[in-house]
Amino acid sequence: MSARAKLDLSKGLGFIVNRTAYLVRQLAHETYLSNEIDLTPEEMALLVHLWQRDGQTQGELATCAIRDRTTVTRILDRMSKKGLIRREPGVRDRRRVRTFLTREGKRLEGVIVPKAARRLAEITRGIPRSHVSITLESLRKIQENIQTMRETEGEKNAKPRR
């Protein structure tokens, strides 16, 4: 049997997770547009992090969103122009700019969260809650394992100090 027959990447974890994430992002964007909400999925991700803890730095948001700081800066620039966030320099260190939700950014939580909950119910229809919980738990564990691997491999690949 050939190597190609042994390993079908289209049935692999990475492919399926990536394709699912892509489809969920597309559906989310379509939902925003159909409800006349001017948001991209990337902007939505940052809003969610700010709803959880307002006043984060761009570095904190980049880490949460798994994006580089330059990309987060561009997304925040768009969100600022839309009136969803404002930035303020830190009190102790003016270089540490914090991002805060505006009244409009806060208001959107009450609009978007119920719609997102309905969509989640639709996309998980027919799947027992216990299966969804196991899937989420498994994906979190995979993320944790990857982070541990990166840290371990980073230590192995680090240059010795002189």
The predicted pLDDT at position 84 comes to 97
The predicted pLDDT at position 75 comes to 96
The predicted pLDDT at position 159 comes to 60
Cβ 38 vs Cβ 26: under 8 Å: no
3-state SS, residue 128: coil
The predicted pLDDT at position 2 comes to 56
Give residue 100's Cα distance to chain centre.
18
Q: Tell me how far apart the alpha carbons of residues 105 and 108 are, in angstroms, rounded to a whole number.
A: 5
User: Which H helix or E strand runs over 127?
Assistant: none
10-residue mean pLDDT series, the chain (162 residues): 66 92 93 90 94 94 91 96 93 84 96 92 96 96 94 72 52
Asked if the 13-123 domain carries CATH number 3.40.50.1380, the reply is no
The predicted pLDDT at position 13 comes to 92
Query: pTM for the complete prediction?
Result: 0.79
Q: Tell me how far apart the alpha carbons of residues 124 and 33 are, in angstroms, rounded to a whole number.
A: 22
Per-domain residue ranges for the chain?
13-123, 128-156
How many other CB atoms sit within 10 Å of the CB of residue 108? 20
The predicted pLDDT at position 96 comes to 84
